[in-house]
Each structure stands twice: as C-alpha cells, then as structure tokens.
Structure 1
Amino acid sequence: MKAISPVIATVIIVAVAIAISIAVALWLTGIVGGFTTVENLQITYAYVESITDDGWEINLKVENKGTATATIDEVFINGIPISTLVSQNKAEINPHVGGTNTVPIPAGQSQEITITLKEGFSSGQQVEVKLHTASGKEYPKMVTLP
C-alpha cells in the first residue's frame, strides 16, 4: 500500500486548521458584535431664551454618537418629570416626551428638543435638564435662566 508523503499531509492539516480558525473567528465576531452596541448621547448645545415675562425656552441639541438607537423616554427638570410639569401647565416640550411618548435617536443622528417653562421658575435660577433613556442611562445638563 502506498501512503501520502509527510509533506503533503502537513500541508493538508495546516490548510484545514486555518480554514477552521477563520470560520470560528467570523462566528465569534458575529456573536460579540451583537453585544457591543451602545448608546452615547451628547448634548452638543443648550441655551435659554426669555420668551415672556414669566417664561423661558430651553433649546437642546442631542446627538447619538453611539452604535445603537437611543430612545429618550423621559425628561426631568430639577428632578421632576416633564410629564408632571406639562400636566400642571407649568411646561411644554417639543417633541413630546414622557408618559407613553418616546423620542428615538438613531445612531449617528441628532434631535432638537425645545422645553418651554411657564411658571414656578425665576430669572437667574439654575435648572437641571436630565434626559433619561429606555436603557436606564441619564444625561444631565445645567442651564441658567436669563
């Protein structure tokens, strides 16, 4: 009986090992890629304008610098949910956030949010605006009312 030479056997074994390692690497990349998506919101600007004697407009631009869609499900003003202030007619928000309303921000995109404060605030007061996402992260920003 004739057998294959040791050199050819070694080449075949090395080729099979390389093919299996490439397949395993691609498989692991697919698994790990599913767990490495992350949201990363950044408030690129926040400014306040006085609109009436007792009212202010807070303008925010929020960018998602992460790899997953971030969904803002609540906004807090000094620790109070915006939905509570809206129901008390002390504030308005556009787009509407809070309660059952959410604002999704896809990866790489931005969203402008306008909050109108009507009463219960005074000139010179610092206001903390905190964005809360569906994943449980919070993104605070302090502004001072003019």
Structure 2
Amino acid sequence: MNRGKSGISPVMATVILVAIAIVIAIAVAFWATGLVGVFTRFEKMEVVAAVYDTTDGDVELLVRNTGSSAATIDNIYVNGQPAGTYTLSGSGNVVNPPTDATICTISSDKTTGTCDPGEYIVVSITEPASGATWVPGVTYEVAVHTASGKTYPASVLIP
C-alpha cells in the first residue's frame, strides 16, 4: 500500500487546527464588533433653550441631537397635547444655533425635521393648542416628539 510515505505529524495537525481556529475567531470578532456598533446607536434630543418671544408672542425651542443616530421630529406637545401651530426652522428671533452649527433637514411644510447627530433645529410654537393663546404667569411643559416615540420635554414660563 503506501508504505514508506509518512502522513502529517500530530504536532503539525494541531498547529494547523489552532491556526484555523484563530483565523475564525478573529473573523467572528470583527463581525461582532460591527454588529455591536449598529445596535448601540441611540437617539437623544436635547432642548438647549426654551424661551418666550415677547415680540412675536411665541415660544421658541433650540433643539440639538446629542445622540449617535438620526432623529425625526414628528410633533410638538404643549402640556401633553399636540401644539396648535408650530414651525421648524434654522433660526429664531430669540434663540439661534451657534454660527458654525449644522441645521437639521426640514420638510417643506416645516412641521417635521430629521436631525443627524450634532445638528440643531429651532421650533417656534405660536399656539399652545388650536385657537388658544399663551397665558401670562403660567408655566407650560413643551415637548419635542420623535418618530421613534420618544418625548423630550422642557418648561417655559410665560412672563
């Protein structure tokens, strides 16, 4: 038969198997690291400033996405109810993002906006509820609501 021909030694077989195991382990580690990066992204909006504009009679919010994932603003709430009238923009009368800031992408009707991490947006709320007006001396809870279902509140005292 095959006398005189020797096969691979047990030591060499072990070295080859260990090398294959290490290569597979490294591949799995790189795959898992990439997977972890996808699943650890999070949305976090921060209301940097919330003030009443005495000139226009509206409440202005300066909002920044401080998370690691994009966030879409889909509604604004005042005292837990949808705001009557509001608009999203890149600047306001009282609050403005830093001059070197990137502004969120705003829809054509100015009621929704998508903010990538680090971007700013200004929310101007004209009516706390449909047909209602701001009442002096009252503190209102205003909140930014996102498409993922999260709400980011702030308080505003109307002078």
The answer to whether the superposition gives a TM-score over 0.5 is: yes
Partner of 1:10 in structure 2?
14
Matching residue of 1:79: 80
Provide the aligned C-alpha RMSD in A.
2.5
Aligned to 1:124: 137
Work out the CA distance in 2 between the residues paired with 1:49 and 1:113: 12
Answer yes or no: is 1:107 the counterpart of 2:117. Answer: yes
Q: Counterpart in 1 of 2:156?
A: 143
Sequence identity of aligned pairs in percent? 40
CA distance in 1, matches of 2:57, 2:133: 11
Structure 2 counterpart SS, 1:130: strand
What is the one-letter code of the residue matched to 1:70?
Answer: A
> For the residues of structure 2 that align with 1:18 and 1:109, how far apart are their CA atoms?
42
Deviation of 1:117 (Å): 4.2
2:69 matched to 1:59?
Answer: no
Deviation of the 1:46 alpha carbon: 1.6
**Structure 2 runs not aligned, ≥5 long:** 90-105
Q: Aligned to 1:19, what secondary structure does the other structure show?
A: helix
What secondary structure, in the 3-state scheme, does the structure 1 residue paired with 2:77 have?
Answer: strand
Q: How does 1:82-93 map to 2 (within 5 A)?
A: 82=83, 85-86=84-85, 92-93=86-87
Measure, in 2, the Cα distance between the counterparts of 1:41 and 1:128. Answer: 16
1:134 deviation in Å? 0.3
Taking the aligned partners of 2:12 and 2:18, their CA distance within structure 1 comes to 10
TM-score, normalised relative to structure 1: 0.78
Look up the match of 2:23.
19
* TM-score for both structures, normalised by structure 2: 0.72
d(CA) in 2 for partners of 1:24, 1:94: 44
**1:2 counterpart SS class:** coil
Q: 2:42 corresponds to which residue?
A: 38
- d(CA) in 1 for partners of 2:54 and 2:120? 24
Tell me how far 1:122 sits from its aligned partner. Answer: 1.9
Residue 8 of structure 1 aligns to a residue whose secondary structure is helix
- Secondary structure of the residue aligned to 1:3 is coil
**8 A Cα contact 2:87 2:123, kept in partner:** yes
Higher helix share: 1
Per-residue Cα deviation, 1:95-144 (whole angstroms, up to 9, x for no partner): 488x9942111122221222234853221110111111100001111110
Q: Which runs of 5+ in 1 are unaligned?
A: 87-91
Match of 1:71, SS state, is: strand
